[in-house]
Amino acid sequence: MLESFLDKGQELRKRNEPFAIAVVVRREAPSSGKTGDKAIINKFGEIIGWVGGGCVRAILIKEAEDAMKTGIARLVRIGKSLTQSQQEGVMEYKMTCQSEGLVEVFVEPVLPPPHLVVMGKTAIAKALVKLAKTTGFRVTAVAPDIKPDTFDKVDELITQYNLKQVNTTEASCIVVATQGDQDETALQEAVGKANCYLGFVSSRKKGNKLMDYLKDAGVDPVRVAAIKSPAGIDINAKSPEEVAISILAEIIQVKSQAPAASAFTQFDTTRAEAGKPKFYINPVCGVPVDVNSPKHVIDYKGEKVYFCCDGCKVKFEQDPDKYMQKA
């Protein structure tokens, strides 16, 4: 079991896919999850391992997704006799159904490293690749005729200015450091890819000319305006290494200012897009219910209401207006 758990984690890491690790850290009988039980929850909401069934399962899938979105770990407490404390970093679900016991599960997100695409084989490009790898980036190097030893420990090599095979997302960063080697081609490729940062290494004068070129070529002016040109924070950099430092500093600054939820945008396929569980918050107990497999569904005034157990359905039917107003 442990070997399978570790193998799955390694497999997801190699694929640069996010996941969350859930570990039962405390329980009170008769909850089904036992202390030490653990599972991996992937971006599709699939659970590999065991940390409990029923409502516990749905709650942990939702909390794992939230953890992956924000990059923030949390302790999830689920129980009937729960005294809510509203502690920071603690998510509490007080069960109102027949379920007894209590379970506490620590959910920790494991996110892939940030992705940087460096276009060009100039001294600045090489220095940037080396520095980015040192600071934990996954780096794709793009330039004609490059070889494995052109860059220091690069993760992916593309031997032409064509990004069709490069998977980028709204969390990726791209730096065009071609410096006269097919600048126009490289910029047009880069501006067409999803990113949170696109920088062009050049003088201000040359950068302005290339921005005009992109607009004349029909590129959306909004996308052109988002290009950082010249790339990097102005620190009066001279050497290629100093320029690389200024660019990486600007990238870190941009990423740190992005909304917390943007962490999840680096995943090319979300759980919802894959047709996996969509959650509805049970108006009686506040527990998320997988709409694909609820215990009960009631049509109330044209709206479908989903329930996780018999008890919640019965309570709702006794006073539906009360619970819908609460919801």
Show the tokens assigned to 187: 């910029």
Please give the pLDDT value at position 251.
Answer: 96
pLDDT score of 177? 97
**Alpha helices per DSSP H over 71-220:** 123-134, 183-191, 204-216
Q: Are residues 127 and 102 located together in one domain of the fold? A: no
Residues 120, 248 within the same domain: yes
Which residues lie closer than 8 Å to 179 by C-beta, 6 or more apart? 120, 122, 124, 201, 202
How far apart CA 188 and CA 87 sit, in angstroms, is 49
- CA dihedral of 218, 221, 227, 233, whole degrees rounded to 10: 150
Q: Are residues 295 and 197 in the same domain?
A: no
Q: Residue 51's pLDDT is what?
A: 87
pLDDT tens per residue, range 18-45: 999 999 999 887 777 789 999 999 988 8
pLDDT for position 300: 84
Question: What does the pLDDT read at residue 189?
Answer: 96
Q: Between the CA of residue 51 and those of 26, 36, 309, what are the distances in Å?
A: 11, 9, 19
Cβ contacts of 129-135, under 8 Å, gap ≥ 24: 129/154, 130/244, 131/241, 131/244, 131/245, 131/248, 132/248, 135/248
Q: Which ranges of the chain have pLDDT less than 70?
A: 1-3, 82-85, 96-100, 258-277, 326-327
The range of the structural domain enclosing residue 257 comes to: 115-266
Query: Are 288 and 280 in contact, with CB atoms under 8 Å apart?
Result: yes
Cα distances (angstroms) measured from residue 207 to each of 10, 227, 275: 42, 10, 44
CA–CA separation, 251 and 205 (whole Å): 22
Assigned domain for 272 exists: no
Query: In terms of domains, do 56 and 80 share one?
Result: yes
Residue 298, domain CATH: 2.30.170
Residue 68 sits in the same domain as residue 171: no
Instruction: Give residue 261's pLDDT.
Output: 42
> Is 245 in contact with 235 (CB distance < 8 Å)?
yes
Count of positions (residues) in the chain: 327
Claim to verify: residue 210 and residue 289 sit in the same structural domain: no
Per residue in 255-313, pLDDT tens?
888 654 444 554 544 555 555 557 778 888 777 887 777 788 888 888 888 887 777 88
- Asked if 178 and 305 sit in the same domain, the reply is no
Domain boundary among 110, 134, 155: 110
**Token pair for 261:** 């939820």
Residue 226: inside a domain, yes or no?
yes
Residues 10 and 143 in one domain: no
> How many domains does the chain fold into?
3
Question: Edge to edge, what strands does the sheet with 156-158 contain?
Answer: 156-158, 138-142, 115-119, 173-176, 197-200
- What pLDDT is stored for residue 263 in this prediction? 46
